[in-house]
Amino acid sequence: MIPVTKPFLPSQEEYNKYLSAIWERQWLTNNGPLVNELELRLKDYLKVKHLLYVSNGTLALQIAIKALDLKGEIITTPFSFSATTGSIVWEGCEPVFVDIDADTLNIDPTSIEAAITPKTTAILATHVYGNACDINSIDSIAKKYNLKVIYDAAHCFGVKYKGQSIFNFGDISTTSFHATKLFHTIEGGALVTNSPELTYKMSYLRSFGNISPEEFAGVGTNAKNSEFHAAMGLCVLERIDQILNVRKVICERYNLMLSTLNAKRIKIQSECSWNHSYFPIIFETEEALLKALKLLNDNKVYPRRYFYPSLNTLPFLKSQEMPIAESVSKRILCLPLYHTLNIEEVDFIARLLLRAQNN
């Protein structure tokens, strides 16, 4: 069986070293030493100023929206994971979708201005599959209309834009360290910002509003993470360069083997050094996708329709038509990609895709 992804797991001995220390200290959660160490190591590895480790990427989005005090309408992309839209609605704001660019699959900045109303307070855009949004255009629109910018950078671990971590862009970038992501802490996520004021605010929002055991700065939630999760993160971080390299090799092999497949690849934004976090292919029709998917599944290969469906069609939203996102989401398939996928398996998957096309 070949799944779409497998989490990277360190050896049990490596993880056990951290467990023994946890047993010794008997400190399991609440800003413990491993959580602190992970935050420091991540800041150092990513070269970002402020980073707060939280319990998942969805709470990171919710805290970002709360920290910026957003109200009213938030312009966002229909082509993302449901948590991007869900967080906006959960925080009492209204998602206003802007369709995507057909080549990069990120929000199309040329359509943003037309969607701005007096109620618009922010843009929440996803760097889809780790491919950078058109950050320059988004930033200049945000400046012109005095809007905040949040980037959902859940796919972006290790991505650089203009030579620095992509997490440095926007007022706040959020990310996810879920087990299915390239860097993971089983469950987890982070908030990154250059602003000390926002860091202070988000750190009490993460922890019930407390600034000390007996003092409250505001209303908060519980988005802390535990020593056990941080320990996994420290183990995975140790191997991250190797993980990134293997994925690059796999993607290059897919590209070589699939050069005659009638399916488009995404266009990586210039100035973006990509992390090979996913390998999406865009078929010409949904029928072609379903045919390929069936042959793969019959051979115990399980790629994922991701993202599907387009978020503007979620049942709890009033309908807004997004022709490009709706069309792409019906035709896009993410192929298996993980550190232990070997070249023979990649070739096997590629041959099945070509066979489905030629039958």
Ligand X SMILES: *Cc1c(COP(=O)(O)O)cnc(C)c1O
Can you give the binding site for ligand X, defined by CB under 6 A?
Answer: 56-58, 80-81, 83-84, 126, 152, 154-155, 176, 178, 189
For the four alpha carbons of 87, 96, 109 and 77, in that order, the dihedral sign comes to positive
Write down the least CB distance from residue 187 to ligand X, Å.
6
Token code pair at residue 307: 């993202």
> Rounded to 5 degrees, what angle do the CA atoms 48, 86, 201 make?
40
Shortest Å distance, C-beta 88 to ligand X: 12
Q: How far is the CB of 25 from ligand X (least distance, A)?
A: 26
Residue 320, both tokens: 């807004």
Residue with nearest beta carbon to ligand X: 57
CA dihedral sign, ordered 181, 184, 189, 191:
negative
Q: Least separation, in Å, of the C-beta of 55 and ligand X?
A: 8
| Minimal distance, residue 240 CB to ligand X, in Å | 18
Nearer to ligand X, 150 or 251 (CB): 150
Using CA atoms, how far apart are residues 151 and 161, in angstroms rounded to an integer?
13
- Pick the closer one to ligand X by CB: 56 or 357: 56
Task: Please state whether 26 falls in left (phi above 0), alpha (psi between -120 and 50) or beta.
Answer: left
Identity of the residue, 18 or 129, whose beta carbon is nearer to ligand X in the bound complex: 129
The span from the CA of 142 to the CA of 123, in Å, is: 8
Sheet strands (E) in 2-42: none
Number of H helices, E strands in the chain: 11, 15
From the CA atom positions of the chain, what is the Rg in Å? 21
In order, the DSSP letters of 205-216 are HTBTTEEETTEE
Q: Is the CB of 326 or the CB of 350 nearer to ligand X?
A: 326
Q: Which is nearer to ligand X, 126 or 168 (CB)?
A: 126
Q: How far is the CB of 126 from ligand X (least distance, A)?
A: 5
| DSSP E strands, 210-359 | 210-212, 215-216, 263-264, 272-273, 279-283, 332-335
Q: Which is nearer to ligand X, 148 or 181 (CB)?
A: 181
Nearer to ligand X, 83 or 112 (CB): 83
How near is the Cβ of 82 to ligand X at its closest, in Å?
8
Q: Is the Cα dihedral 311, 117, 111, 135 positive or negative?
A: negative
> In this complex, which beta carbon is closest to ligand X, that of residue 89 or of residue 211?
89
Nearest distance, CB of residue 177 and ligand X, angstroms: 7
| Least CB distance to ligand X at residue 90 (A) | 12
Distance CA 147, CA 335 (A): 36
Q: In what order do the strands lie in the sheet with 50-54?
A: 50-54, 189-193, 172-176, 148-152, 120-126, 73-76, 94-97
Nearer to ligand X, 188 or 357 (CB): 188
177 near 230, Cβ under 8 Å? no
